[in-house]
Chains A and B, each alone.
Chain A
Amino acid sequence: MANNSKAGKFAKTEGMWGYIMVAPTIIGLIVLNLYPFIDTLKLSFTKTKPFGFYEFNGLTNYINMFTNADFWRANLNTIYFCLLTVPLGIFLALVVAVMLNTKIKGRTAFRAIFFLPMVVAPAAVAMVWKWMFNTEYGIINTLLGHNVNWITNPNVVMVTCAIVAIWSAIGYDAVLLLSGLQNISKSYYEAASLDGATKIQQFFHITLPMVSPTLFVVMIMRLMSSLKVYDLIYMIVEESNPALTSAQSLMFLFYRESFVAGNKGYGSAVVIWTVLLIGIVTAFQFWGQKKWVNYEV
């Protein structure tokens, strides 16, 4: 009886405590995210005026955007960047993860080495790669014995950025994939070995299907962050670089329009478009996963 009334009192205060405990987060999300989201949407239909004033201008930003060559170029650049980085990056990360999943001495050390770029600021990572890719004095051209304009050639600059991006992300993706691999029961491999399956057969018939849910998560994540690529390109490609328009991603365009050129309305239209693009690509991924992701077992 005594217990019951205590429990009753406890339950009665539950709702109140629920509100108190979510309050900071919910207020924060409203002020920092919900309101800014609506405001960005609104801004995308306005023209930026001096002294912080805005004037409603309907679809003008969107029309300007869709008729602007730089905008379409930024779309192509972003998609090109994704095509260069996502398939190869995930393939390499899977190879590293499979290798890390074998019983060899020093695997913790190797894991730590591959993961290292994650704890270095992208700004510092970009700096050193920019130096190594330097046309005249960079070590890469010295080793190649050939002067490639890695950073200023419009046809090459995106490949350069992609190499740095893959190198930066491989350890992170491998660690995520490794945790998926470690969940696969050893008994499958034992049974397959008894049946005489080779390691390669085991990889395609056991490992790949069993790790496919993790692979899918990593792929979605990598694709989303590649569509939002900004910091590496910002660091590698300066305003004065003749290859700027060939390396300008959507988020770089957004940054330059909103905060360098001061066209916050136009910039907002670009960011809204990018979010839609990410949404469409992600929806396609979820639709396509039924064909290759294995959720059984």
Chain B
Amino acid sequence: MKSNSLERNQKLRTAGTYLFFIIGSIIMIFPFIWMLLTSFKTVAESMQIPPDFFPAQWIIDNFKDAMASLPFGALYKNTILLIFWRVVCAVAFSSMAGYAFAKLNFKGKNLLFSLVLVQMMLPSQIFITPQYQMLAKLGLTNTIFALVFPGLVSAFGTFFLRQAYMGIPDEISEAAYLDGCNQWQTFVKVMVPLTTSSMAALAVFTAVFAYGDLMWPLIANTDLKMMTLSSGLATLRGQFNTNFPVMMAGSLLAMIPMVVLYLFFQKQFIEGVAMTGGK
């Protein structure tokens, strides 16, 4: 009798959990579905009250219009280059510094590491104005370098990879130098391969935030051809106040590449962000 009611309780609970997830999933996905459906409607259709869920005719004119008002080829290229250089710099320089801070002894190490910690605690906006002025003085605004500039080194990445190297026992590097490796060889051939999962997590984290960043790209590159997908999309916000289908088409074009990557590598994305979590 009692076990029966327990079983029924368990079933009810499972049903409740599913109901929660189904409603939650609808709330999470609906905006993207609405974006997709709107992007294929005519303006008149999008303003119809009450709205039809599906477009009467799936038209692609909105995508043509979006591509005519934004140079999407250039935006994709700039965004890819920004992500590429940010990731390469963050992973390479942070690996080196993280290893040195974790495993090597040198004078002033703690003082230098405190510089890393202080930078991590300060919000990036406090650096933005002088960073912009440096670039402006050198005439380097509206370049790929300008986009990458604040992310040339990563205090967070240094901290994160230092943690990874701290987890590796000293015996491994000792064994390497007994085998005749010098410091650099020990680092590159033995230590770096041991941190691949941490490096991958840092790469994912850096890429996602470089892609979503809005303030810096808006400030550094004001020439439309040198913008990123995010900042380029932001220029549409005032331009088509009533033409929502074109804005939805533009948004869709801007988000598709990252979403496709995410669908293939969602485990790496989520674990990468969960591992680095806390920033």
* 26 examples of A-B residue contacts, CB within 8 angstroms: A3-B178, A14-B106, A15-B105, A17-B184, A22-B101, A26-B112, A36-B126, A36-B128, A113-B28, A120-B259, A121-B229, A122-B212, A127-B237, A136-B47, A137-B49, A142-B50, A176-B277, A179-B274, A230-B125, A231-B214, A231-B215, A234-B214, A234-B234, A235-B214, A239-B238, A274-B125
Q: How far is the CA of A225 from the CA of B91 in the complex (A)?
A: 24
Assess A175 versus B153: contact at CB under 8 Å? Given A116-B259, A122-B212, A275-B123. no
Q: Which residue of B lies closest to A214 (CB)?
A: B277
Near B by CB (< 8 A), chain A positions 12-52 give 13-19, 21-22, 24-37, 39-40, 43, 52
| Pairwise interchain contact B94-A25, C-beta atoms closer than 8 A | yes
Assess A33 versus B119: contact at CB under 8 Å? Given A17-B100, A116-B28. yes
Assess A18 versus B49: contact at CB under 8 Å? Given A29-B116, A32-B149. no
Minimum Cβ distance to chain A for residue B265 (Å): 10
| Pairwise interchain contact B116-A25, C-beta atoms closer than 8 A | yes
Additional 5 contacts, C-beta under 8 A, given A28-B152, A39-B129, A112-B270:
A6-B177, A37-B122, A43-B129, A112-B266, A137-B49
B189 interface hit (Cβ, 8 Å): no
Query: Which B residues are CB-close (under 8 A) to A221?
Result: 277-279
Query: Which A residues are CB-close (under 8 A) to B177?
Result: 6-7, 10
A167 interface hit (Cβ, 8 Å): yes
Contact of A123 among B13, B233, B259 (CB under 8 A): B233
How many of chain A's residues have a CB under 8 angstroms from any CB in B? Answer: 96
Q: How far is the CA of A132 from the CA of B155 in the complex (A)?
A: 39
Minimum Cβ distance to chain A for residue B218 (Å): 8
Q: Which residue of A lies closest to B136 (CB)?
A: A52
Contact of B183 among A10, A217, A228 (CB under 8 A): A10
A278 interface hit (Cβ, 8 Å): yes
Assess A118 versus B273: contact at CB under 8 Å? Given A104-B18, A251-B125. yes
B187 interface hit (Cβ, 8 Å): yes
Minimum Cβ distance to chain A for residue B238 (Å): 5
Query: Which B residues are CB-close (under 8 A) to A18?
Result: 100, 104-106, 109
Query: Which A residues are CB-close (under 8 A) to B155?
Result: 25, 29, 33
Indicate the size class of the contact surface on chain B. 35 or more
Of A56-64, A83-91, A203-211, A263-271, the one contacting chain B is A263-271
Q: Which residue of A lies closest to B173 (CB)?
A: A10
Q: Scoring A residues 247 to 272 as 1 if CB is less than 8 Å from chain B, else 0, what string do you get?
A: 00001001100110000100110011
Give the 8 A-B CB pairs with smallest separation, nearest first. Answer: A28-B153, A18-B106, A36-B130, A25-B97, A39-B130, A21-B100, A18-B104, A36-B127
Q: Scoring B residues 216 to 245 as 1 if CB is less than 8 Å from chain A, else 0, what string do you get?
A: 001100000000011101101110000010
Contact of B254 among A111, A121, A255 (CB under 8 A): A121
Assess A116 versus B29: contact at CB under 8 Å? Given A17-B100, A137-B51, A221-B279. yes
Q: How far is the CA of A118 from the CA of B271 in the complex (A)?
A: 13
Assess A271 versus B28: contact at CB under 8 Å? Given A121-B258, A122-B212, A127-B248. no
Minimum Cβ distance to chain A for residue B253 (Å): 9
Q: How far is the CA of A114 from the CA of B266 in the complex (A)?
A: 12
Contact of A26 among B115, B131, B208, B237 (CB under 8 A): B115
Minimum Cβ distance to chain B for residue A22 (Å): 5
Minimum Cβ distance to chain A for residue B84 (Å): 17
Q: How far is the CA of A133 from the CA of B68 in the complex (A)?
A: 26
Query: Which B residues are CB-close (under 8 A) to A154?
Result: none
Q: How far is the CA of A114 from the CA of B270 in the complex (A)?
A: 11
Q: How far is the CA of A31 from the CA of B131 in the complex (A)?
A: 9
Q: How far is the CA of A98 from the CA of B153 in the complex (A)?
A: 37
Query: Which A residues are CB-close (under 8 A) to B38?
Result: 131
| Pairwise interchain contact B277-A175, C-beta atoms closer than 8 A | yes
| Pairwise interchain contact A37-B183, C-beta atoms closer than 8 A | no
Query: Which B residues are CB-close (under 8 A) to A10?
Result: 177, 182-183
| Pairwise interchain contact B178-A6, C-beta atoms closer than 8 A | yes
Contact of A99 among B20, B112, B150 (CB under 8 A): B20
| Pairwise interchain contact B106-A230, C-beta atoms closer than 8 A | no
Query: Which B residues are CB-close (under 8 A) to A27?
Result: 153
| Pairwise interchain contact B122-A131, C-beta atoms closer than 8 A | no
Q: How far is the CA of A171 from the CA of B182 in the complex (A)?
A: 45
A119 interface hit (Cβ, 8 Å): yes
Q: How far is the CA of A172 from the CA of B271 in the complex (A)?
A: 11
| Pairwise interchain contact B125-A228, C-beta atoms closer than 8 A | yes
Q: Which of B109, B182, B273 has the most CB of A within 10 A?
A: B273
